[in-house]
Amino acid sequence: MAKKNKAKSKHAPDVLDINPLTALDDDDLMNDLLSQLDSRDQTVKEESTTASNEMQLEKQANELEVKPKRTAKDRFQARRVSFVEASTHYQLIKPKVQG
């Protein structure tokens, strides 16, 4: 049995001949593969953007549901603050009249 194993090990492994035409084909295949991967990356980016937007919209919807309803007092104070801000802004842009 030992002789059979030695006989097998003496044979040189088959060497593949690399043909220049197959090298060009390999380049084409590699370019095709890379372009497919790039297109998949774009698809993944679009899907992740869509998922992110949906999650953000859901978060905003949950926040709106959680907010307590404003009372009459809260609405009154908000109007008062906005009125004061508006009048202050108007005084800043109003031209001063000299008499």
Tens digit of each residue's pLDDT (9 = 90 or more) over 56-80: 999 888 887 777 778 899 889 888 8
Is-above-0.85 flag for pTM? no
With cut-offs at 50, 70 and 90, classify the pLDDT of residue 22. low
Our measurement of the distance from residue 58's CA atom to the centroid of its chain's CA atoms, rounded to an integer in Å, reads: 17
Tens digit of each residue's pLDDT (9 = 90 or more) over 33-55: 888 888 777 788 888 888 888 99
Distance CA 78, CA 85 (A): 11
**14, part of any domain:** no
**25, part of any domain:** yes
Indicate the number of domains in the chain. 1
Q: Which domain holds residue 71?
A: 21-93
**98, part of any domain:** no
pLDDT score, position 70: 83
**6, part of any domain:** no
**36, part of any domain:** yes
Distance CA 56, CA 64 (A): 12
**72, part of any domain:** yes
The b/e string for 29-59 (b: 16+ C-beta within 10 A; e otherwise) is eeeeeeeeeeeeeeeeeeeeeeeeeeeeeee
Amino acid symbol at 52: S
**88, part of any domain:** yes
Position with higher pLDDT, 24 vs 17: 24
Helices (H) and strands (E) in the chain, counts: 3, 0
Q: Which structure tokens are listed for 1?
A: 């049995």
